[in-house]
Amino acid sequence: MLLARLRAAALVLAPLLLAGCLDYTETLTLEKDGGGTLAFDFTVDMSYMADVSRAIGDEPTPEDTRGPTREEVAAGLEADGITVEELIVDEQTKDKKTRVRARIRFKDLAALGRLEGFGNDRKLEFFDEGGGKVRVVYSFDTSDLVPIEEVAPDEAGGAEEDPVEKKILEISKRARENLRFRAKVVMPGAVEKSNGKPDPQDPNAARWRVDRESEPEKHERLGRGKIVMMLQVERASLPFVQDKDIKQPPARREGDDKPAGPKPEEPRRPGPPSGLGD
């Protein structure tokens, strides 16, 4: 049963998604009118899928291990309110890696949310922090980063006795260990604090980095749900955000002596969503 599931996962892998992606970087730039740009730079390594094919007894063909084509990537970027400003796809046949660089312009946040295949369910939410401050929460699902279907040890059952299943799980683990995620968010005004790192060259930006060496706990969760990036800015720097679009933070819980939330020196969490950026 497990071998069949892993075999199916190897065969139906969609190259358009970030499957097999070793290194993913993006920069989101939000402008004062609510539009902006989103730039990607990622590398897809299909050598893992070649290893999986060999593990199940099949010799991979060039078609089986090719990365996404420019046409496939362009098709994945088609959505109302989205304009592709740059798209470069560089295939390195020898090591089965493909580098994709793209920059899109989105008309508004609704258009950004229509983007699929490069991290799903993208959205920005806004929370009232009081005192003229707003918490901006940028999140999207990173599940597409996982190269093949993962199986929990207790679900795998006898995988350790089956050399084929064991080999496939080893390949999946090796691919996961090499995942790296980087992001930068640029706001229309100064970022006062965030759950990332400040950008020393741009007061309007914050950066995030998740890899096995620097953030092992967050890295373990990468590809298993949403990444959540939070920034605090002045309400006045977001003229496109209507009052009705700003949510309230969690209400005080009964029995609490103080309002719910972390210590004052830490960014107050606005409640769900939570995720890798925490």
Note the pLDDT of residue 14.
Answer: 34
156 in a domain, yes or no? yes
Q: Report pTM.
A: 0.78
Note the pLDDT of residue 235.
Answer: 97
CA dihedral 68, 66, 144, 212 (to 10 degrees): -120
265 in a domain, yes or no? no
Residue 155 has pLDDT above 70, yes or no: no
Domain count, the chain: 1
276 in a domain, yes or no? no
Contacts of 156 (CB under 8 A, 6+ apart): 2, 165, 169
pLDDT-based confidence at residue 272 (cuts at 50, 70, 90): very low
| Residue-number span of the structural domain to which 89 is assigned | 2-247
Residue 268 has pLDDT above 50, yes or no: no
Give the closest residue to 179 by CA, choosing from 139, 227, 138, 137: 227
* 3-state SS assignment for residue 153: helix
Measured distance CA(88)–CA(71) in Å, rounded: 11
114 in a domain, yes or no? yes
Q: Assess contact for 141 and 119: CB atoms under 8 A.
A: yes
pLDDT > 90 fraction of the chain, expressed in percent and rounded = 41
272 in a domain, yes or no? no
Note the pLDDT of residue 278.
Answer: 56
274 in a domain, yes or no? no
Higher pLDDT, 237 or 57: 237
268 in a domain, yes or no? no
108-115, Cβ contacts within 8 angstroms, sequence gap of 24 or more? 108/34, 108/35, 108/81, 108/240, 109/34, 110/81, 111/35, 111/79, 111/80, 111/81, 111/82, 112/36, 112/38, 114/79, 114/80, 114/81, 114/82, 115/38, 115/77, 115/79, 115/82
193 in a domain, yes or no? yes
